[in-house]
Chains A and B, each alone.
Chain A
Amino acid sequence: MPYNFRDDIAGGDCAVEIEADSLEELFIEAGKAFTEAMVDITTVGSDNMFDVSLKEDDIERLFYDWLSELVYLKDSASMLFSEYEIKQLETGKDFRLEATVGGERIDYDKHDISADIKAVTLHRFKVEETDSGWRAFVIFDL
């Protein structure tokens, strides 16, 4: 699996390492890990689509904003997400992301939600390019 939950770090919260071949894939896999930290992603549909448009000064901030946006959408619309599509990811002078996320409203008959992500922390937060692609580390506050 491209993401790995780290039980040995900050056990009251949820630490996750994500590895991917490309930056686009890193954002997608982080989105999946975000959902999987709360619920079995295979139980979540994708009937409702949301557009995400973000701009930041560097890649780490853009990645932080992406995950924070998912937290915000989850809470403000009572949603869980299962589909993540990156439409445009621009790096260079500016860092921009255009994406679509698909999900469905929380339904306790269908979704066994073990935890709720409150926020994205910056403790040990990291996004870095590696020899084989990209790697990120993030701790979600539960």
Chain B
Amino acid sequence: MQKKKIAEGIWEIDPTQKKGMNVSARILSSDKLIGSVEDGVFDQITNVACLPGIVGHALCMPDGHWGYGFPIGGVAAFSVSDGVISPGGIGFDINCGMRVMRTNFTLDEIRPKIKELVDILFKYVPAGAGKTGTASLDRKRFEKVMTDGVGWCVENGYATRADEEATEARGCLKGANPDFISERAYKRGVNQLGTLGSGNHYLEIQVVRDSNVFDEEAAKILGIDRPNQILVSVHCGSRGFGHQVATDYLKVFEKSVQKYGIKTLDRELSCAPFESDEGQEYFAAMKCAANNAFANRQVITHQIRRAFRKVFGKSDQEMAINLIYDVAHNIAKVEEYEIDGRKQRVVVHRKGATRAFAAGHTEVPSQYRSIGQPVIVGGSMETGSYLLKGTQKAMTDTFGSTLHGAGRTMSRRQAKKRVHGKALANEMEKRGITVRAASFSGLAEEAGIAYKNIDDVIDAVVKIGISEPIARLLPVANIKG
């Protein structure tokens, strides 16, 4: 498959390269990274380009890697009237996403109590497979979580109005309908609210060094306003509830492709016309899972505040653990863009890609509208993360989207063969990063060597122009599921 570099950081595969491609595919990368992009990514993104009703280009972000259906890092938009919706373009972990909180603490204040803090956080925020949350829910209450998301958290004392304001879509996608949720999804999810999960999900205490603030004005607006300030990040999603919703509808859509005569090159890309009954039912169910994920991260935030209060004996006002932003990176949303010279409503699928709206967009919370939407990029637990902001170029070139993480370069099993979990934890401790993990072998799978260099992927998106850096966050302590 031939790819042609058409601009700085952009490689294009034109529709002649694979039978059935409706649009070209574009890989966003850099001279340094493009050689490491796996063949599976090119195959998958060109499969996406074959889906009905796709508009613009099928896109893959610089942290992209081989997934299932869409590649991880995949972004594609489909016409609302002629296009499709596909669970394979969203992922099983619906609304897997990131949130980051600012605090009034500095590194010097945290350091003496870091072990105690990590122990309490590990207790208050259940991590790992099979763990259940503290919120007690029955079907009726769980349905309110599905329909109201963070709104339910506000009503039930888990969130402030400010938390709600600082969450994508105010933490509630309208149109969520529990009638389209199976009993199985309910049973898998009902006990998991407020849990991290496993895999690459984590809770991290981070520090912002002065030298790592790249945009002082934007940082100040986000509440990053003191030297060596402590931030707290959370990466997780809709847990078993979302996984079951996606599984249920993948089976429905396997039949839909036959019913509607849709040809896909990968069964994981099974889909239905967006406006069909099946498409709308999945969209309403996906919103239930997305709202559950917003609420999940919010209940975790509530538990984080409890943990800090217990360890430091300070009030909420004194600590000011305030949500900077919460953003999804596995989701489908209806958005409007100018495409081929006219405004079109499209269903944007982001799978391992973050919304990155430019300054002035009405969807950006009012407090950030002058700078652009905050973007949270989670790196490996050893190397740190970034806060970026969305740009106008993202609006015109990538359906308001950017990267979501560092991107894997090594399989989990390879990482486990090369790294011993306990030794890694000791080594990180020596470097000033305290780690608690549900499992040491799970920790080894998330070692820094398994990921691309985050500076390289950030450099790529900045050069392409779809995001701008605000600050780099370095890990101080990590709790891994």
* A75→B132 CA distance, assembly (Å): 10
**B68, B129, B187, B412: which contacts A121 (Cβ < 8 A)?**
B68
* A119 engages B442 (CB within 8 Å): no
Using A114-B442, A120-B247 as known contacts, say yes or no to A5 and B413 having CB atoms under 8 A apart.
yes
Mark contacts of A11-41 with chain B using CB atoms, 8 A cut-off: 1 yes-contact digit, 0 otherwise.
Answer: 1111000000000000000000000001000
Q: Does A86 contact B (CB under 8 A)?
A: no
Shortest distance from the beta carbon of B125 to any chain A beta carbon, whole Å: 15
Question: Quick check: B445 and A114 within 8 Å, CB to CB?
Answer: yes
Is there contact, CB below 8 Å, between A12 and B184?
Answer: no
> Is A7 an interface residue, CB under 8 A from the partner?
yes
B243 proximal to A (CB < 8 A): yes
Instruction: Report A-chain residues with C-beta under 8 Å of the C-beta of B439.
Output: 108, 112-114
Contact of A122 among B240, B243, B267, B444 (CB under 8 A): B267
B270 touches A122 (CB 8 A): yes
Most chain A beta-carbon neighbours within 10 Å: one of B67, B410, B416: B67
- Nearest residue (CB) in A for B190 is A76
Q: Tell me the residues in window 399-414 of chain B with beta carbons closer than 8 Å to chain A beta carbons.
A: 408-414
Give 1 or 0 for each of B235-250: 1 = CB within 8 Å of chain A CB.
Answer: 0000010011011001
Residues of A within 8 A of B408 (CB): 11-12
Task: Tell me if A142 is interfacial: C-beta within 8 Å of chain B.
Answer: yes
| Cα distance A124–B40 in the bound complex, in angstroms | 11
Q: How far is the CB of A140 from chain B (nearest CB, A)?
A: 10
Is B66 part of the contact surface with A, judged by Cβ < 8 Å? yes
Residue of A nearest to B200 (CB): A12
User: Which of B68, B240, B247, B411 lies in contact with A7, CB distance below 8 A?
Assistant: B411
Q: How far is the CA of A55 from the CA of B254 in the complex (A)?
A: 16
Interface of A is mostly: loop
The contact of A125 among B240, B244, B267, B413, by CB within 8 Å, is: B267
Q: Which residue of A lies closest to B411 (CB)?
A: A11
Question: Once the chains bind, are A121 and B268 in contact (CB under 8 Å)?
Answer: yes
Q: Does A51 interact with chain B (Cβ within 8 Å)?
A: no
- The chain A residue sitting closest to B66, CB to CB, is A10
Interface status of B72 (Cβ within 8 A of chain A): yes
Across the interface, do A119 and B267 meet the contact criterion of CB distance under 8 Å?
no
Q: Given known contacts A112-B440, A113-B198, is B188 in contact with A121 (CB within 8 Å)?
A: no
Kindly list chain A residues whose C-beta atoms are within 8 Å of the C-beta of B414: 7, 11
Give residues 99-142 of A contacting B (CB, 8 Å): 105-106, 108, 112-116, 118-125, 139, 141-142
Is B128 close to A, CB under 8 A?
A: yes
A78 touches B411 (CB 8 A): no
Whether B92 and A118, one on each chain, are in contact in the complex, defined by CB atoms closer than 8 angstroms, is yes
Given contacts A9-B66, A122-B267, contact A115 B199 (CB under 8 A): yes
Q: How far is the CB of B319 from chain A (nearest CB, A)?
A: 30
Chain A, Cβ-Cβ closest to B445? A114
In the assembled complex, A50 has its CB within 8 A of some CB on chain B: no
Query: By the criterion CB–CB under 8 Å, are B268 and A115 in contact?
Result: no
| Any A CB within 8 A of the CB of B441 | yes
- B266 adjacent to chain A (CB < 8 Å): yes
Query: Which A-chain residue is minimally distant from B267 (CB atoms)?
Result: A122
Decide if B442 touches A113 in the complex (CB within 8 Å).
Answer: yes
A68 sits at the interface (CB 8 A) = yes
B438 at the interface (CB under 8 A from A): yes
Q: By the criterion CB–CB under 8 Å, are A119 and B246 in contact?
A: yes
List, in ascending order, chain A residues with CB within 8 A of B91's CB. 141
Q: How many angstroms from the CA of A51 to the CA of B246 in the assembled complex?
A: 24
CA distance A75 to B195 in the complex (A): 13
Query: Which residues of B are found within 8 Å of A59, using beta-carbon distances?
Result: none
Contact of A106 among B67, B68, B130 (CB under 8 A): B130
Residues of B within 8 A of A142 (CB): 198-199, 412
B67 partner residues in chain A, CB cutoff 8 A: 10, 12-13, 123
* B468 contacts across to A, CB distance below 8 A: none
B184/A122 in contact, CB under 8 A: no
Are A12 and B247 touching (Cβ within 8 A)? no
Contacts of A139 in B (CB 8 A): 68
Q: Within the assembled complex, what's the spacing in Å between the Cα atoms of A141 and B96?
A: 13
Q: Which residues of B contact A12 (CB under 8 A)?
A: 65-67, 72, 200, 408, 411-412
* B448 proximal to A (CB < 8 A): no
User: Taking the nearest CB of chain B, how far is it from the CB of A62, in angstroms?
Assistant: 12
The residues of B that contact A79 with a CB separation of less than 8 Å are 130
Q: Would you call B132 and A78 a contact (CB within 8 A)?
A: yes
Instruction: Give, as a whole number of angstroms, the nearest-CB distance from B178 to chain A.
Output: 18
CA distance A39 to B450 in the complex (A): 20
Whole-angstrom CA separation of A7 from B197 in the bound complex: 23
Q: What residues of chain A have their CB less than 8 Å away from a CB belonging to chain B?
A: 5, 7-14, 38, 61, 68, 71-72, 74-76, 78-79, 105-106, 108, 112-116, 118-125, 139, 141-142
Q: 10 A-B residue contacts at CB 8 Å? A: A12-B411, A71-B247, A74-B129, A75-B130, A108-B439, A113-B198, A114-B442, A118-B93, A118-B199, A142-B199
